[in-house]
Structure 1
């Protein structure tokens, strides 16, 4: 395989990072400049939330609205650019394309959301008189997807160093008189903190809304609680291998879990994978070829006898692969490895 750090890729890496930085700065500049340009024609606070009827039912100070979008974009762009800048991502066309698509989609969503919010509040005097939203919602959904598609096409330009075929997986000798068991985990501290902050914010906002100080806060409780639950599920993964089956569990409660009977396992190996290569964190892909992505790096990849594959980001994956191969060889002695 071509070395991702080869000197011939240095110029491409520099151009890619400059383009990503230029996009990040451009979006941030728009998020700041547009509200400032129309500040004299906007109410303060301005309407920032619309109910199912299409009428405004929540507001936010203009300065807070601008800061919120800029900070959110800085976080998204920083994470996206950081992941995309990895050498292994840069040299793989598919991973690079999805990284660019994510950056383009997120930037487009920020700008278009702000544009419609300002347009609805323009010259309205008070946020309660802001224009309703109807067809605009479809544009807010569709336009960022179109920008993401353009980003995906842009990311496909450049070098492509595909992963080589998986090598034969490790194997260990099993003592026929003992019952082997292997358990390992992987954690994502960022997801645990995200869950903690989101759930705490949901509880605080719900309490304030119940007190009557912020009646419009209920609209944020459910999304924050959902983010908290998703963050908790993404915070850890546990893999257990015994002679009968492979079991994969996620989250602090080890639920949900997935059990694969050992007779379905053909072989296993270790492979490095990153969120940008598989489309992000969580359960990515389709049944039969999926990745449980908790953190980038070492993955345990299991191939089924049916031809499907499951990859799990887990620590000490080589030991797990060796045990799976030994157990599979015991059940399928004629299978070449």
Structure 2
């Protein structure tokens, strides 16, 4: 028979994803419709940056202004929808609440920023005569935070399925005559595509800026390049276990890399962790209690003899933990078997 609880959770996830999709479409519609509605009353280019004095000191073509915000939101919403469609953490209250808070804050920030930018340029013949920014900055910062808080409250509603308990310490028997090696690599296609899109956009903007078609494009080149580099680093993680050490490397070039001597490792096990639980993707937390989060799900967790912990989202984590525990037991026979 089908568990009624499973049906209720599945129904909740379906409704939740529909609500998230509706929010994504609503924000995208506002980002497109509002500037188009006021297009005939806006200068082109229009002021998009204000200096410390509160006066406009940077501009952007109208089409580019609309396109940048829409593309940015599509990337954010697309990544969010992908996480929501695949991650089981949406049936857990705390990570779901922060997931909602993040989407609400991001959408609110883009809409509010666009609204005040349009208001400052409205009925101004030239971007240099755009209205100044003073108290508006406070609203631009505070309003998305308030919207994020509402999103978090909305995310607290619904089921709260407890996470699976940590698995017992896996073990394997080692052949004394052989040198065991375990290597596993996990990739995140979304990060790779994000890097490709960001780097391509950076190159295109640099080209248009050099040609004089879009002189203001230089302002976006560096942020897009940074996003591309970060996306490349987050696109994969590789873990290697040999009798001497545990090595963790990130990115397609396997750099940067971290090597931990086996005599510093106390034990290893497997846990399920998700980005919403640890604060997002990448290297999360502080030294001594950190997670390298590439994708949600099975993670290899290592406890150091100093008491610190490191979790890595990697495939076949159970085999890696089993080999680590077996190597530790062989080095230190007094370790509990």
- Normalised by the shorter chain, which TM-score bucket? 0.7 to 0.9
- Shift in Å, 1:124: 0.6
Q: Determine whether 1:283 maps to 2:288.
A: no
Which moves more between the two structures, 88-97 or 175-184? 175-184
Equivalent residue number for residue 58 of structure 1: 59
Residues 79 and 190 in structure 2, CA contact (< 8 A), matched pair in contact too = no
CA distance change for structure 1 residues 210 and 30 in 2, over 3 Å: closer, same or farther? closer
> Residue in 2 aligned with 1:207?
207
Flag structure 2 segments of 5+ consecutive residues without an equivalent: none
In the TM superposition, what whole-angstrom CA distance separates every residue of 1:106-147 from its partner, at most 9, and x where no partner exists? 111111111111111011112232223345444433432332
**Structure 1 Cα separation of the partners of residues 72 and 202 of structure 2:** 18
What is the distance in 2 between the residues matched to 1:4 and 1:299? Answer: 29
Identify the residue that residue 42 of structure 2 maps to in structure 1.
42
- SS of 1:315's equivalent in the other structure is coil
Q: Is the Cα contact below 8 Å between 1:80 and 1:102 reproduced in 2?
A: no
* Residue aligning to 2:125: 125
Seen in structure 2, the aligned counterparts of structure 1 residues 207 and 177 have a Cα distance that, compared at 3 Å, is: same
Change (3 A) 1:199 1:71: closer
TM-score, normalised to structure 1, is 0.87
Q: Deviation at 1:158?
A: 2.1
- Distance across 2 between alignment mates of 1:84 and 1:41: 39
Alpha-carbon deviation of 1:245?
1.9
State yes or no: 1:292 paired with 2:292: yes
Aligned residue-pair number = 334
Per-residue CA deviation, residues 182-222 of structure 1 (Å, 9 max, x unaligned), is 22212223322322332233233323323433322211111
Give CA-to-partner distance per residue, 1:145-198, whole Å, 9 cap, x none. Answer: 332233223212222122233121321222233332222212223322322332
CA 114–226 in structure 1, closer or farther in 2 if over 3 Å, else same:
same
Task: State the alpha-carbon separation in 2 of the partners of residues 256 and 89 from structure 1.
Answer: 29
Measured after TM superposition, the shift of residue 64 of structure 1 is 4.6
